[in-house]
Structure 1
Amino acid sequence: MTACGGGSDNNEPAPPAPRVSAVKVVGDSLSDSGTFGLKATIQASADEPNVLWVERIAKSYDLAPLCPVYRLDKIDEVHGMTFAPNSQPGCTNFAIGGGRINNTLRDGGAEGELSVLRQLRDAGTAGWKATDLLVADGGGNDAADLVGAYLGAPSDQGAAYMTLLGTVIPSATLQAVLAGPNGLETAGGLYMQTLADSFAASIRTNGLDKGLQQALVANIPTITYTPRFQAVLALVEQAGGPAVRAQAEGLFKGWVNAFNQRLAEKFADEPRVKVMDVATRFTSFVAQPQNYGLSNVTLPACGAEWIPDSIVPHREFADCTAAALAATTPPPGSSGSDWWKRFLFSDGFHPTPYGHQLMGEQAVDLLGQADWR
């Protein structure tokens, strides 16, 4: 029997448990919330503290702002960069600017924190709850390393390129590929596929096999569209002509596609993992900027060493603040103190806060489609 008088809430259904109670991140500068004391984008914007795409994901779940798990400890000529645990409690962002799937020995190799595979191991060691969401990116710096080594082959007889390939491709396999048609170029695609295999295997071993139920994995953006690589391709064209440039650009896009296709294949039948197709969306940003509210997709708002200061001053990230840009004479084709706000690129390789907003919106849409909201 129920008591007379006032109503009772005992029969009211309990609110649904949160689908996501923590966002845990691994990756590189695209996702690093401040390991080096700043983020790889324009500083002190109105979007702070949720500027990066991964931070916007956390905000969409009404979670506290992300903070870095590691902090830069020191840099020396022998050991490169070393890192220490962040003393701030509750941090879940393992990503570090400069992170790679195939990390160089100088920065600790596979055991160094700059290794995305090491980051995944650390996240797995910390453990997973059913309501954790892993957000992972990786491979962009690896692709840039591969392109740089390939383009440097005329000056070092291919030594750096061959050394890089040999770090992940077994010698017998590599020699067989090199002996075939277009062997050097084909080996680059195999290198990127091998990295995708390693990335996917680490997500499975350190995440899914340890209880992770939800993972959002970003593929590699088409890096050839970045101002940095457009400048590189311009030098290729200057040296060899438009046809050589087109051939090189097609090759480098093919390498990125090789990684992305293999990554998608690895998780095609895995309901706990959603692969976010950053590459296709990024290409759309460049091809149809008006559809995304973008005002410029070629010029970095913070400038670059290859761009005259008369167009836009070159600023390092520490000095590239919203206030500094607002006080800068707008580059040709732009006007007003907000000229930079709808640019896609902050520097030659990284998005502006608005670029991150667009990425964050894509991620949140995908999470909603997965019913992970």
Structure 2
Amino acid sequence: MSLSRVRTAIAAATVSLLAACGGGGGDETPVGSAPAPTPPSASAAPITRLVVAGDSLADVGTFGLKATVQSASNPAGYPIYPEVVSQQLGTGALCSYFTSSDEGGSFATRPACTNFAVAGADIVNPVVRDGDDSPFSLKKQLESALSANGGAWKPGDLLVMDAGANDAAGLADTYLGAQRGGATDKLVFAALLGQQLSGSTIDNALSQPNGGSVAATLYMQQLARTWWAMVKANALDQGATRVVLVNIPDITLTPRLRDVVAGAATDLGAGGAADFQAAVRGWITTFNSELAAQAAGDSRVVIVDYFGEFTAEVAGAPAAGLTNTTQAACPATVDFPQCTDAALDAAPPAGAVAGWWKTWLFSDRFHPSPRGHELLGAAVLRAIQAAGWR
């Protein structure tokens, strides 16, 4: 099963549905409605439980695996970043609340589990994939987590979540399709924008020079506000005193987006491909900046700068214990169930020895290796420590 999703087909199907519903689905809210600060005493209780929401980065097994290198000898696999955090905090093993045996066609639940993350999830899950009624929606995950915990959060709870990378990747794919294609591709792009922006905002943006990128920037800004509204409604307004938000890394540095940028050079030229990469990076920066603005002044919230951490890992690989930050360890011809440590050790790159993959940053073309998860887990723990929560 492929856990990285290209959403052009979903967005295409959304065109008619959005038209039938009358246009954009997101309210464009003003910048920076400041939250009320919380006294430090509100988070004085020791952390006794970890609750997780997010996408494949945080999913410990909704579909029976983790989006990283698999362990051939240990069914529990290598720890991904929430498990690294849980191990250090002593909050116990994590298990997936949602489970699916048919790649997300239907879901069962395990009420005792506190990891609500689902691989492939979006902040704004398309209506053609059941929208907010599906665990592929961050809103559904957070609502389910709140309900499963009795409608209120306890003083010992720590909530950790990541989101937005899949939204950004889907936006990048659809934007590039509109740049390369014809009228239908442009409608697909407009339909995706309509999930967050009003028709008039889209029309105004698209009428400007480089209007597609302008519209995408507005989309990502609104997407950050939408995520914050979900966090506020389902966590902060319900008694949560410790919430960790992991922002979006620079996905243009992943093997998947590097390949997309290289492919764009064929149609758009080297300059156009460079402009595309810079645009995607700019959209993500806009999202992260807006998220930080929304959370500013709220002592209950810590934002982990994964964008900065991830960029530094790629730029300074040896300092991070990395020897490769551009390629995927898993062969392109296999999916995660077959990408085991034993299989990788049995077929090392030329000149490499067993365990070579342990110092690579990427497992497949879009997801971290076990070492990548160790680094992110350490960043989350540093942020928690800096906030005085442990």
- Confirm or deny a common fold (TM above 0.5): yes
Residue 90 of structure 1 aligns to a residue whose secondary structure is coil
Question: Is 2:102 the partner of 1:85?
Answer: no
Question: Is 2:69 the partner of 1:22?
Answer: no
Question: Is 2:79 the partner of 1:94?
Answer: no
Which structure's relative contact order is higher, taking Cα pairs within 8 Å and 6+ residues apart? 2
Aligned mates of 1:288, 1:214 — CA distance in 2: 31
How big is the shift at 1:117? Answer: 1.2
Residue 24 of structure 1 aligns to a residue whose secondary structure is strand
Aligned pair partner of 1:345 in 346, 362, 366: 362
Aligned mates of 2:77, 2:241 — CA distance in 1: 27
Match of 2:345, as an amino acid?
A
Aligned mates of 1:69, 1:207 — CA distance in 2: 17
Task: Tell me the equivalent position of 1:262.
Answer: 290
CA contact (8 A) 1:82 1:107 kept: no
TM-superposition CA deviations, 1:13-70 (whole Å, max 9, x none) = xxxx961111101100000010000000001178955611011111111122110000
Aligned residues: 340
Aligned mates of 1:122, 1:248 — CA distance in 2: 37
CA contact (8 A) 2:162 2:245 kept: yes
Question: Is 2:385 the partner of 1:368?
Answer: yes
* 1:97-246 equivalence runs, <5 A: 97-125=119-147, 126=149, 127-153=152-178, 154-157=180-183, 158-246=186-274
Residue 181 of structure 2 aligns to a residue whose secondary structure is helix
How big is the shift at 1:150? Answer: 0.8
CA contact (8 A) 2:52 2:161 kept: yes
Q: Which structure has the highest helix share of the two?
A: 2
Aligned mates of 2:102, 2:195 — CA distance in 1: 26
Structure 1 spans left out of the alignment, 5+ residues: 1-16, 305-313
Aligned pair partner of 1:284 in 276, 297, 312: 312
Task: Tell me the equivalent position of 2:7.
Answer: none
CA contact (8 A) 1:50 1:56 kept: no
Task: Tell me the equivalent position of 2:62.
Answer: 35
CA contact (8 A) 1:346 1:352 kept: yes
How big is the shift at 1:181? Answer: 3.1
CA contact (8 A) 2:70 2:78 kept: no
Distance 1:60 1:121, change over 3 A: same
Task: Tell me the equivalent position of 1:327.
Answer: 346
How big is the shift at 1:105? Answer: 1.7
Residue 216 of structure 1 aligns to a residue whose secondary structure is strand
CA contact (8 A) 1:303 1:315 kept: yes
Moved over 6 A (4+): none
Aligned pair partner of 1:317 in 332, 336, 347: 336
Match of 1:349, as an amino acid?
F
Aligned mates of 1:156, 1:228 — CA distance in 2: 24
Structure 2 spans left out of the alignment, 5+ residues: 1-43
Could you say what the CA RMSD is over the residues aligned between the two structures, in angstroms? 1.7
Residue 361 of structure 2 aligns to a residue whose secondary structure is coil
Aligned mates of 1:268, 1:340 — CA distance in 2: 39
